Amino acid sequence: MQWSSWEIGRVLGIPIRVHGSWFLVFLFVTWTLATGYLPESLPGLSASRYWGMGGIAAVLLFLSVLLHELGHSYVALRYRIPIEQITLFIFGGVAHMRKEAPTPRAEFLIAIAGPAVSFALGAACLGFVVLAESIQEQHALQGLIMLGALLGMVNVQLGLFNLIPGFPLDGGRVLRAGLWAWGKDFYRATKQAAVVGLGFGVLFGLLGAGVIFGALSGALPVSMVSNGGWVIFIGMFLFATALASRRQAALRQSLAAVPVRDLMVQTVISISPDCTLDEAVNQYFRPYGYGGFPVLEDGQLVGLITVLEVQTVQPALWPWRQVRQVMRPLVPSLVVAPDAPVIQAMERMAQEGWDRLVVMQDGQVIGLVTHSAIVHFLQLRRA
């Protein structure tokens, strides 16, 4: 089943998106607060008020998760790591970074920033509760005290949970930073931290099963069955993501050992910058079927033109527009050396949003490396 997501705003220039699964947990949290926690903490209110307060509390809880992810993102941006987006979903939130941290120190600081924000929010909320309880007329602040205590405890728990040393949790990334600094091998450190994540996934699954068994056997309250189910669900999620991270690290490690020259297209057809778009389409794109061509002037690379650039111009204007007017001008990130690892080319494509790079040696264009060629290589490796 495919879930859609919606952009609800931007913070620090980062798109904030809400995944469809978020609404399920939002309703569940609201229902839990409105029918259990709030009536027990503040008896005597109407059902509609409980539901309204529950909805507000649920929004504030997810705002706490968003601030946690913004903590990661802020530090990542300081290290010039682009953040594609932050997505809120059923298990909380995730910041999508377009490349890995450059050093173990950066990895540690990015990972620890999220829990640090959660602990700071927790301390602020609990501090407010202590201050409010010292005021004599507590009944006027009872609702805020209850909400502050809830947010404080949830943020502290969020920080503690994320410090579990199993990848891809923040604690697992801290562990990876330490293993990376010690062994000087990023991919090996990722696989080792992912193994710990697999262990914690199994542990959570067993713990949840134990809670369910205890509730059904009468050793624990029957209401604990749902808690056990959620613990199993979290364990399955942690196990699946740790396993995927381990496999991805293995693939990236293999790409780090393969030079670009092994995957590049060696038959390169170039286009003159003075060529019209109409000539480019009819004499190059259609006959050869390539998605892009390097642009050479007097034997020197000056840019790259792809189908995307051509599509920005209306076909009626193709005879009057030259390639130089729409091409991607030459920048250092457009070029890669033949001996560079494929993983470097792949990360650069992802960071710049490109689907191909020009391979140059001694000032001469000797090939092209494309995203599709890398995908085909990975498919063959999997097979």
H helix intervals, 290-332: 307-311, 323-326
- Whether 347 sits among the annotated catalytic residues: the reply is no
CB 341, CB 257: distance < 8 Å: yes
Structural contact between residues 149 and 129, judged by C-beta atoms closer than 8 angstroms: yes
Both tokens of 73, joined, read: 């993102």
**Given the residues 7, 40, 69, 279, the one annotated as active site:** 69
CB neighbours (10 Å) of residue 255? Answer: 21
Q: CA torsion sign, 148 to 150 to 154 to 156? A: positive
Classify residue 347 as exposed, middle or buried by CB count within 10 Å of its CB (0-12, 13-18, 19+): middle
Tell me the torsion sign for CA atoms 167, 172, 177, 179.
Answer: negative
Tokens of 210: 């134990």
Query: Edge-to-edge strands of the sheet including 335-336?
Result: 335-336, 356-361, 364-370
Cβ atoms of 84 and 94 within 8 Å: the answer is no
What are the residue numbers of the active site? 69
